[in-house]
Amino acid sequence: MNSDDLVIDVHGLNKSFGRKHVVRDFALQVRRGEIYGFLGPNGSGKTTSIRLICGLLKPDSGRGTCLGYDVLTEAASIKREVGYMTQRFSLWEDLTIRENLEFIARMYGMKDVKRVAAGAIERLGLGARRDQLAGTLSGGWKQRMALAACMLHEPRLLLLDEPTAGVDPQARRDFWEEIHVLAATGISVLVSTHYMDEAERCHRLAYIAYGKLLATGTPEEVLHLYSLSTWAVGGSSAQLASLASRLHRVPGVQHITAFGHTLHVTGEDGQALDRAIAPFRAEPGLAWRRAESTLEDVFIHLVSTASDNYQ
């Protein structure tokens, strides 16, 4: 990878809060215009890792650069070129969209705040609601306004912390289309998410559990990190509940995950898994078939192999 293409290049970042080692020896490289997805269970260190990378938190140890600035000594310069969108809506609900954006433009010390706010309203398709109070907006419109707010100062890097939590599917789709448009202009994006369909929309992924980076790569690369074998079995709810309970005790079966009226039964050793499920395949009312392992199967496997970081 050409170092000139790197917007983020960090190595060995560590951060502890009390006895909890929240981020362990974290390393990451992100290219210009890349959408990098951060996945992992709650409390895994996703948000802390992103904040360390971008100068919002100082690491206990480690080194690296973000946007060409040193993450240890030039945090203030990094912050000026970063747009940060939090999971929780944090703008002023008793102001209109236009008033919110004009106020934020003043906070950035920008000139001609009305023109700047009007431009953001136009780019994000907020024109029809510019004079609507923010507190009366739906989740999708609040999300769109928050994105407009964090883009006012034309940042080179966007930090999005679970930006689509609680947003309907159409608004999520529209949001991701906008993110890809921004990335195409050269803006790099770090986004934390729990949604597997959003993970598949990222250029590259980082999976974090208990403070450690367990896997990184394109969605396709992460999917094939492990030679997982998966069977899908369908049946009634009662049958599947009984089957899952019995399979948990069978050697060769590592993970059992429910997807509606289907279970995914997964193992690392395909032959051992085939032997493990053989006695159950003859049971009436169950329909077995080989299935492709999914990103969710891989991530469940990853987190099951990680150790807790509360020491």
pLDDT single digits (tens) 176-222 = 999 999 999 999 999 988 888 888 999 999 998 888 888 899 999 99
Residues 228, 297 contacting (CB under 8 angstroms): yes
102 within some domain: no
258 within some domain: yes
- Joined together, the tokens standing for residue 103 give 């106020």
Helix/strand/coil for 160: strand
105 within some domain: no
- 269-307: pLDDT as tens digits: 999 999 999 999 999 999 999 998 888 888 888 877 766
Host domain of residue 249: 229-292
List the end-to-end C-alpha distance of the chain, in Å, as a whole number: 36
d(CA 202, CA 199): 5
118 within some domain: no
Q: Report pLDDT for 2.
A: 52
Q: Which residue has the higher pLDDT, 302 or 311?
A: 302
pTM above 0.75, yes or no: yes
Cβ neighbour number for residue 193 with a 10 Å cutoff: 24
73 within some domain: no
189 within some domain: no
Is pLDDT at 91 greater than 60 in this prediction?
yes
233 within some domain: yes
Question: Residue 51's closest CA among 15, 101, 95, 21?
Answer: 15
d(CA 222, CA 217): 6
CATH for 243 = 3.30.70.860
- 109-143: pLDDT as tens digits: 888 999 999 999 998 889 999 999 999 988 888 88
Is pLDDT at 311 greater than 70 in this prediction?
no
Q: Report pLDDT for 4.
A: 63
272 within some domain: yes
Report the run of H or E that residue 65 belongs to, with start and end: strand 61-66
Q: Report pLDDT for 260.
A: 85
Token pair 């209109």 is at which residue? 96
Give the count of domains, the chain.
Answer: 1
Q: Report pLDDT for 188.
A: 96
In the chain, % of residues over pLDDT 70? 96
d(CA 46, CA 162): 10
